[in-house]
Amino acid sequence: MRRESELRERIRDFFRFERQELNFLIPAILIVAFSFSYNDWGEAELDLAEGLKNFLLLIIIAALSFFARISCQKIYALKEGYKAEFKGWWLGIIIAFLITILSNGSIPLILIGGITASLMVRQRLGEFRYGFSYLDNAKISLSGIVANILLSLFFGLGLYFFPDNYFFLNGMFLNLMMAACSSFPLPQLEGLNIYFGSRTLYLATIIGVVLFGILLWTQIQIGLILAIVVMAIITIIQLLMGTGINR
């Protein structure tokens, strides 16, 4: 109870999106939304009304996914006594956009950057291994990927009950793609944080993203049930035992 109260106070005092984060995220959301709606501006010829409707839906999906993901990382970081800040990667955005155009919209990647964590000295007092922990940093990064998988699961359930629904289909696909791209072990992405924090955790991340991608993309009932069960088991284990995974 004391830790929950302390976390609420930390969120009240420290949780926010800085101006430099918003200055990157707003144009990034627009670019990602356009990339994912690239082929949805009409079939035989340009349909401006249809294209704008799809573009606006993807703006909503991208904004929800980005802010939910980064919010989870910021809150988890505060819980562990760190301040998390999102660092955008303009070159990654440009590369992903060019790949989208060159592939005629077939490969809409999401290379937007990642989270960086800094030690909050007063908030870490009394913690085990008081200094900066690469494993904690890996878990902060992983919390964003877990958020994307959870969102993809919710969108996947919506797609199961409303087949071929544009909003649910693209919501599931965008979040799965964001989770997969974030797992790349590149310096600007969070996969490298997880890799250096724990090789075991990184391997589990890759397996988890692939597994959930297969279970959700097949859109068969047993796949969705297994995805829900697996996520529930992971959540229960984390709540009861923590995520004490060593290198």
Largest CA distance in the chain: 64
Residue 95 has pLDDT above 70, yes or no: yes
pLDDT tens-digit map of 54-74: 999 999 999 999 999 999 999
Return d(Cα 4, Cα 164) in angstroms, integer.
41
Candidates 56, 67, 66; CA nearest to 167 is 56
Instruction: Tell me what pLDDT residue 79 has.
Output: 87
Residue 245: its pLDDT value, please? 41
Which among 68, 3, 83 is positioned nearest to 29, based on CA atoms?
68
- Report the C-alpha gap between 189 and 40 in whole angstroms: 28
Q: How far apart are the first and last CA of the chain?
A: 30
> What is the reported pLDDT for 80?
84
| pTM of this structure | 0.86
> By the 8 A CB rule, do 181 and 145 touch?
no
Segments in the chain forming alpha helices (H): 2-14, 19-36, 48-80, 90-102, 121-124, 134-161, 166-182, 190-197, 199-218, 221-241
